Amino acid sequence: MIRDLRKRYGARTVVDGVDLDVHQGEVVGLIGANGAGKTTTVECIQGLRRPDSGTLRVLGYDPTTQADQLRPHIGSQLQDSALPDRLRVRETVELFATERARNADELLDRFGLTSRRNNAFGSLSGGERQRLFLVLALLNRPQLVFLDELTQGLDPAARRNVWAAVARLRDEGATVVLVTHELDEAEVLCDRVVAMRGGRVLDAGAPSELIDRHAKWATVRFTWTGTPELYADLRAVAGVRTVERIDDRLEVRGDRRIIAYVGAELVRHGPVPDDLTVEVPDLEAALLGLLDGATPEKELEAVA
């Protein structure tokens, strides 16, 4: 439970009155552009930075005054995590293990590192390094796990592998705070997201809820081979905002209900075009709408 968290560096306010709740067993994502205050917020929650003000309770502890008591109960992979290049994977696990450690071989196997256990950290690929940091974050049976820009700099295949590992944590009931500016990552992994800008929380909710609130539009495109009446009928469809002819194609925009209604009109006028495409909003569109303070009408103008 975090209330009215504030942190300044000199004259610059980086966290400005943040409230945050994380419930057991959920994955919560802090999203926003670089400089939004996400990492500083998480560092204050872990007791790594001292906030200027605010009320913090993490697993019953105040991280400002009880960081030593809190630390054994959390696992953390920080944005700038690194290890000595010559340190072997098995040596790393042995170094970080405490009396609470779980079976290290099982963890290495789960994250696909068994065959690399005798390899030096410097020889691991980017995806393998991130999976090792996940092993270390989970090694000592934490109640709460913090992951900061987990897939930054990874290629698409490595990102998917790391996503699968985090999804497994969620399925097993782990509580995770994920800091990311990769919105496709947040949409795939998070039960709830908190959108930040300038150190403040703009909105919070399930990814689908943010999309519903801030990116209601959808776009249907197809080659116009029907009757002239089709154009007028589409303009009368419930939820349609604009119908635009671009050469021999029609582009219909409006709220997401139009996907069904436009389809029904195309079936009625027949035949349905072979090149019919539908564009639906995602979390990135929602965040852009939220950052711009856009109304649905402004969102439609922005994508015109």
Question: What confidence tens digit (pLDDT) does each residue in 155-177 have?
Answer: 787 788 788 888 887 887 789 99
Ranges in the chain, pLDDT < 70 = 79-80, 226, 293-304
Q: What pLDDT does 80 receive?
A: 66
Short-list 24, 39, 22, 20, CA closest to 203? 20
Nearby residues of 8 by Cβ (< 8 Å), 6 or more positions away: 14, 52
Structure confidence at residue 293 (pLDDT):
64
pLDDT at residue 38, as a whole number: 93
Domains of the chain with bracketed CATH: 2-205 (3.40.50.300), 217-280 (3.30.70.980)
Neighbours of 238 (CB within 10 A): 10
Burial track 139-158 (b if 16+ CB lie within 10 A, e otherwise): bbebebbbbbbbbeebeeeb
Cα distances (Å, whole numbers) of residue 44 to 56, 64, 164, 225: 9, 8, 28, 60
